[in-house]
Structures are given as structure tokens and as C-alpha cells.
Amino acid sequence: VQITVDEKLDVGHRGSFYDSTGALRDMVPNHLFQLLSLVAMEPPVSSNADAIRDEKYKALCALRPIERARVFLDSARGQYDDGSIAGKPVPAYRDEPDVRPDSNTETYAAVKFWIDNWRWANVQFYVRSGKRLVRKKSEIALRFRSLPHRLFGEAGDLLDNNTLVMKIQPEEGISLRFNAKVPGPKMHIRSVSMDFNYGTGFGVVSAPAYERLIGDAMRGDATLFMRWDAVERAWIQLMPLLDKCLDSAEDGFT
């Protein structure tokens, strides 16, 4: 399972805040863990907010604690440098306003997690997020296991893993990639895609994320909000990584 939240934007006018926070604190325990828990949760007993948040909390509790010795094996950090976007030069992170010129604050973070329960045993969960990347993209991709025994396809045909992608931004939709037989007498197999887009499918434009949350708050619907115990659990899971990566004795990026 791969959960990605990429941004084209830089830190903008938030340099002083971001330099004391970084991508790990800014994105992983809230945005990325919210998506992870929605994917990994078991079916709730009802559709009310408490039942859904109960299952999200259970999923976070099943996350395997990050061992300090494996922090640099199961995570990566980076910081954007100067370059160009659409032919226009853009500055490095250290040259942004209110950012220390020797800053080691990460603007990109990726972490591998494991969920120790019956459904997700031995399934790797990758979460990643960063600033100043190629394109703005938020999505959840589930890559299915390889076939245990190959029955179809000619020799030389590549059978890709089936993949289900739930697209969140910039356009909401679902994409399913799977193997299909090529028309003709031979048993050739090729990977194909089926794509659904909410905007074109229903002829409506979805409300921006924060507009939806503000509306839910005004209606008293807490379904999409992290409960205090889930927030605490998220930070408990992340602290070993923060203690190791952001320790003042550590220099540079892994």
C-alpha cells in the first residue's frame, strides 16, 4: 500500500514555522495517518462518527512500533534544492525567507510501516509527502500480490501486479489496472486500465478539502476528524523516528 501526498508548492511565507516543523511533523501524524487508518480500518458496525473513529483508532494501535535501530532503513528524508519549474528558476529551501541557511529540516519524508493484525500481516505500507515536487498529487495505491501460479499468457508476456488507485487530488477518481487477454487466437496478456473520474462521472466539482471539513464542523459531523486518542497514538508511533532523525547529533539526510 502506497500513500502519497505530493505538493508542487514551496514553503511560501511559512518559512519560520516550517523550519521548526518539517515534513514529518507537518504531514505524517495527521494527514498521512488519517489516510492510512481509513485504508486499514475494519468495517465499522455503523456509519456514525464514533463507530468509524473506533476502527481507525484500532488500525493505528496495530501499527508496529518503529525500532530505533531501523529508523534509517525504514525511512528517508530530503530537502529541495534550487532548480526550475516550467522554465522558471526556483530557489533552494535554504534560500527561502525565514529559513536558516544551514537548515537540515526535511521538506520530503517517506516511511515504511507494518500493521500487525490478521488482515494486513506482512503487507508493507509506504507513506510519503514532500514540497516542491513534480506535480500536485494525493492518492492511495494498493498493489496486489503476484499470482501464486501462472495459468495464462504466452512465454515472454509480462504479468504486472493488479493495482487499485484511489485518487484524491487534484481530481478525485478511481483507477484499476489489471491484466487482460489481447484480442486474437493467441493467449497474449497485457496490462490495461479502467478509470473513473468523479467530475466527469457525475458532472459536479467536489468541494475543496478544508471547505468540506468546515462544513462538517458546522454540522457537528466528526467522522473525518481525528479523535484525541488517535492523535496521541499517531505521535506515539512517530516519536522514535523523530527522536532519531531530528536529534541534533544527526547531520544531513538519509
The residues, any chain, with a CB within 8 Å of residue 38's CB and separated by 6 or more, are: 56
Say if residues 139 and 165 touch (Cβ distance below 8 Å): yes
The residues, any chain, with a CB within 8 Å of residue 49's CB and separated by 6 or more, are: 221, 222, 223
Annotated catalytic residue 31: yes
Q: Would strands 108-114 and 88-90 be described as parallel, antiparallel, or unpaired?
A: unpaired
Q: Which of 21, 52, 95 is nearest to 226 (CA)?
A: 52
Report the amino acid identity of residue 100: R
Residue holding cell 523550519? 19
* Beta bridge partner(s), residue 139: 4, 167
- The catalytic residue among 13, 31, 149, 188 is 31
Query: How far apart are the C-alpha atoms of 53 and 161, rounded to whole Å?
Result: 32
Say if residues 129 and 24 touch (Cβ distance below 8 Å): no
Measured from the Cβ of residue 236, the count of other Cβ atoms closer than 10 Å reads 14
DSSP letters, 219-252, are HT--TTSPPHHHHHHHHHHHHHHHHHHT-TT--S
Which residues are designated catalytic? 31
